[in-house]
Amino acid sequence: MSDSAGRTPAVGVEGARQRLALAQTALLSALVASTPVPGGFDPARIRVQTVALAAKRADIVAKVAPELPVILGADYRPAFVRYARSRPLPGGYRRDALAFVASLLDDQGGPAQPPGRREELASWWAERSGPAPLRAARASRVLRRLNPRTTLRATRGRAGRTPA
């Protein structure tokens, strides 16, 4: 039976939708939320795909929050992949960047941070977690690190808030 465009609509697709939903959710959950690998999949390939998804996320977060690879240096990528392994994308990459930094600030048992980095991350988080845009003083500091000759006339920012 064809429709007016000569196509063949499927019958009884609701059951197929439900079964497919459960199968795809089990796989995606294993890939982005560290739930057990569903039966029949090659666990080694699941690991490769998990890392590939986290690496792509790290690339995009580095584009929307270019200060983070500057603050974290060579630690940026491994730290992000560690964060992303069990934390699904929280609805947008800016929120992802905030959640990543909050996780670093919360992570008491994680790798030791070099002196001053924690404060830099806390300041970065505080300046972006509210509705107001980046304060000029902070923008200036970050830009100077990216390019030491850059100067930006700036006023001091408001007091930061602490991560929730």
Residues that bind other proteins (CB under 8 A): 3, 5-10, 13, 16-25, 27-29, 31-33, 39-42, 45-46, 48-49, 52-53, 56-57, 59-60, 88-89, 91
Q: Which is nearer to other proteins, 6 or 109 (CB)?
A: 6
Q: How far is CA 83 from CA 78, 120, 134, 145, in A?
A: 9, 18, 24, 25
To the nearest whole angstrom, how small is the minimum distance from the Cβ of residue 130 to other proteins? 24
Burial class (CB in 10 A: 0-12, 13-18, 19+), 52: exposed
To the nearest whole angstrom, how small is the minimum distance from the Cβ of residue 28 to other proteins? 4
Residues 6+ apart with CB under 8 A from 58: 76, 77, 80, 81, 84
Q: Which is nearer to other proteins, 86 or 162 (CB)?
A: 86
Q: Which is nearer to other proteins, 49 or 113 (CB)?
A: 49
To the nearest whole angstrom, how small is the minimum distance from the Cβ of residue 13 to other proteins? 5
For residue 45, give the amino acid letter. Answer: R
Q: Which is nearer to other proteins, 64 or 132 (CB)?
A: 64
Q: Are 160 and 126 in contact (CB under 8 A)?
A: yes
